[in-house]
Amino acid sequence: MLMALLKRDLLLAFRSRGDLLNPLMFFMMVASLFPLAVSPDPQFLGTIAAGVIWVGALLATLLSLDLMFKSDYEDGSLEQMLLMPQPAMLMVLVKVLVHWLVAGLPLAFIAPLLGLMLGLPNGGFMPLVLSLLLATPILSLLGAIGAGLTVGLRKGGMLMPLLILPLYIPVLIFASSSVQAGVQGSDYLGHMAFLGAYLALTLVVAPVAAAAALRISLAR
């Protein structure tokens, strides 16, 4: 049943190509327009490249979170999914996996190109990709909680960032700091260890919290 749900959600995601490309286009636009807004100086851009890329990735992820449960809620299938014999947290994990595959993983592939465009020093590319691979699942897992809480609200897309952003701040700090450490030639494994621990924690807690949030939303 869960494998069928995974295939269904992936098929629906790739059919809605506009929704699929919006976060990627937003991510690329943020990185492309930033040099025009500040300074095209390569040295200056290389200094702030990690922060620009990570803020863009975080905002692009927020942009796509509202779609995680919305279509299933609107057509009534979300309620049926919660009634499946499998635990609801497993259904949430499938939704999070699909969201990460279509909205998080592509960011990790595009980020080195944007880093090259912004003049990111060579030492920053490896920690940039590793931090994105570790942290984008965290963004999707935490985002599932906010998406579950706001799925039944008319303006839930506006409320969700207020709920989720405080939980995203540690990810942003340690991920961008790891890239800066790589640029400076310092050891960035400590930052990666924190991101790995945060990922393990959210992998355990977030699906349970998101499933409870969905039940609360459907009970309203």
Token pair for 143: 């985002």
Q: pLDDT class for 45, splitting at 50, 70, 90?
A: confident
Q: pLDDT class for 139, splitting at 50, 70, 90?
A: very high
Token pair for 133: 């691979």
pTM score > 0.85 for this model?
yes
Q: What is the DSSP letter of 103?
A: I
* Cα(217)–Cα(152) distance, integer angstroms: 6
Q: Element (H or E) spanning 141, and its range? A: helix 125-150
pLDDT average, residue stretch 86-101: 87
Given a cut of 90, is residue 133 above it in pLDDT?
yes
What is the pLDDT, as a whole number, of residue 102? 86
Residue-number span of the structural domain to which 91 is assigned:
2-219
What is the pLDDT, as a whole number, of residue 41? 76
Mean pLDDT of the chain: 84
Closest CA to 69 of 214, 212, 203, 207: 214
* Cα(129)–Cα(135) distance, integer angstroms: 10
Tens digit of each residue's pLDDT (9 = 90 or more) over 149-190 = 888 777 656 777 888 888 999 999 999 899 988 888 888 898
* Cα(80)–Cα(56) distance, integer angstroms: 35
More confident of the two residues 120 and 79? 120
Q: What are phi and psi of 118, to 5 degrees?
A: -90, 0
Distance of CA 163 to the CA centre of its chain: 15
Token pair for 205: 């807690």
Tens digit of each residue's pLDDT (9 = 90 or more) over 184-214 = 888 889 899 999 999 999 999 999 999 998 8
Closest CA to 143 of 108, 167, 115: 167
Helix (H), strand (E) counts: the chain = 10, 0
End-to-end CA distance of the chain: 27
What is the pLDDT, as a whole number, of residue 6? 76
Please tell me the total count of domains within the chain: 1
What is the pLDDT, as a whole number, of residue 155? 64
